[in-house]
Amino acid sequence: MITKEQIPAVLDHPVLDEGGKKIGEAKHVFLDDATGRPEWASVKTGLFGTSESFVPIRDASLVDDHIEVPYSKSKVKDAPHVDVDAGGHLSESEEHRLYEYYGMRWDESWARANEPGEGGWARQDTTGTAGAAGAAGMAGAAGTAAGTGMGTGEQAGRTGPGYQDDAMTRSEEEMHVGVERREVGRARLRKYVVAEEEERTVPLRHEEVRVEREPITEANRDAALSGPEISEAEHEVVLHEERPVVETEVVPKERVRLTTEEHTEQETVRGQVRKERIEGDADTIDDPDEPGYGR
């Protein structure tokens, strides 16, 4: 059970479910107007704490620096959405919805045992009907923190029906810009074969026949007279020439691979955020003593 004195230790502290999982942060505590006991806590949930769910703290316990409630995280996150009025109170119909969702009912025996003459609520396993307890009021950190100078009675009065805070809360949306990595294309290497014409100039030699005649001299006379005087004869000479011969061989020339490089570019992102603005005006009350009053 959470007492009124423990409210400062509840606000802005983690709320854990029955399995020890964190649900969120406690932002507000609502008191029962009839008993003055802490009855509900609003818990900020969601990725950026953008959602707020209500959870009963009648059976909750304060352990070290966190609160433990006897409900699962999903149970709390799926609780009915409730809009709190300007005075920081839950309407009777909204409170009925919450009690029915969490399976709680009015139990007068519990009320007499714990707060004689006052009403109370008790949890049960099946849905019951809400009784005539007053609407729950919200206790903020300013009203419960030590050193405010307000006694217990004054604190209960400030959370009772008809209490209007003397300040407004102005909120704004903040834009958070992140980045995501996505595929924009693919690059690949492909090897294929082409035939190109090349030219080379090489020297080629060949033999040609040339008839040489020489007169008979003393030097060749013996060779000339070695054969018969008159006869027929043939002499054959083999001619040669060079022709080009083309051969190819495979020679590695280079290695080719694909790599990636990251380049950073600045891009301006625009988006709309909503902001609350507060303006004040004053109504002038005519003075009966002023000339022209009542015209």
Q: How far apart are CA 96 and CA 104, in angstroms?
A: 9
pTM reported for the whole predicted model: 0.39
Q: How far apart are CA 59 and CA 34, in angstroms?
A: 18
pLDDT band at 138 (very low <50, low <70, confident <90, very high): low
Q: How far apart are CA 80 and CA 98, in angstroms?
A: 7
Where are the domains positioned within the chain? 4-155
pLDDT of residue 137: 56
Cβ count near 32 (within 10 Å): 23
Residue 49 has pLDDT above 90, yes or no: no
Q: Where does 4-155 sit in CATH, by number?
A: 2.30.30.240
- Cα distances from 291 to residues 87, 261, 282, 288, 294, in angstroms, run 40, 83, 21, 8, 9
pLDDT of residue 47: 64
Residue pair 15/70 in contact by the 8 Å Cβ criterion:
no
Per-residue model confidence as pLDDT tens digits over 69-83:
999 998 998 888 887
Q: Which helix (H) or strand (E) holds 136?
A: strand 136-139
pLDDT band at 48 (very low <50, low <70, confident <90, very high): low
End-to-end C-alpha distance for the chain, whole angstroms: 62
Helix (H, G, I), strand (E, B) or coil at 261: coil
Residue 290 has pLDDT above 70, yes or no: no
Higher pLDDT, 124 or 279: 279
Average pLDDT over residues 267-288: 79
Q: How far apart are CA 39 and CA 135, in angstroms?
A: 10
Q: How far apart are CA 184 and CA 169, in angstroms?
A: 45
pLDDT band at 200 (very low <50, low <70, confident <90, very high): very high
Higher pLDDT, 294 or 105: 105
